[in-house]
Amino acid sequence: MEQLMAGPDQAPLSVIEAEHIIQQLQQLTIQDVGSSTWHKQHEWIMRLNIQAHENTATHSDEFVMELLVSLDKIKVLVHDLLVIEAWKEHVLPHLKRHLAHKVSSTIWYLPMYHESVVANLLEVCLYHQHAVEALPEELLLELADWCYRKLAALNAPDTRKHTECKDPKALADMEAEQELEHRLAETDFCAAMCSLTITRYLSDNIMRLPM
């Protein structure tokens, strides 16, 4: 999904740079969301996602995916996916008004966008059977549950209503809280679309997985 790879121009990652970044990926908690550590990891995952898609598109060495598997970091991505989903469900509702009126949209958008970025990176990695098999049973089940929740949300009438295209003038005229809700629905939709592909990859490998 091209919109998930868009962003400021970034120099391509070398294998050494990618390995250095991936080695530093860690399991963060809900309390970490929005911290400097979290923002740094978000930036790293963004860069890895861009490079992973570039590798796939150019049919070159998929070193990002291979490093995530060999360094046992695919499970960190799944953990990150579940943490940000929980943050959006349990923490964000209490912060919406404050974020909409007191915080720049360029700041509050990142946590909402993060789930889509992680899902998009998993989408390109889990195309490969050995990347799927790198996940332990408990995380495979958690990922399958995440996909189910996203697919259920994708079929909800509210999802279709919130993701209808809006013209630039309508977006400009939105109140702050309306804009936040629109961006949240937009990023939720992107994550749900990634879940379609991830569901397929899990299904394709179901007979080989410890589920």
Running DSSP on this structure, what letter comes out for residue 175?
A: -
Name which of 79, 83, 76, 78 is nearest 23 in CA terms: 76
Confidence of residue 3 (pLDDT cuts 50, 70, 90): very low
pLDDT digits (tens, 9 = 90+) for 70-102: 999 999 999 999 999 999 999 999 988 888 888
Domain ranges of the chain: 2-208
pLDDT digits (tens, 9 = 90+) for 167-176: 655 555 468 8
Does position 142 have pLDDT exceeding 90, yes or no? yes
pLDDT, position 2: 45
Does position 7 have pLDDT exceeding 70, yes or no? no
What's the whole-model pTM score?
0.87
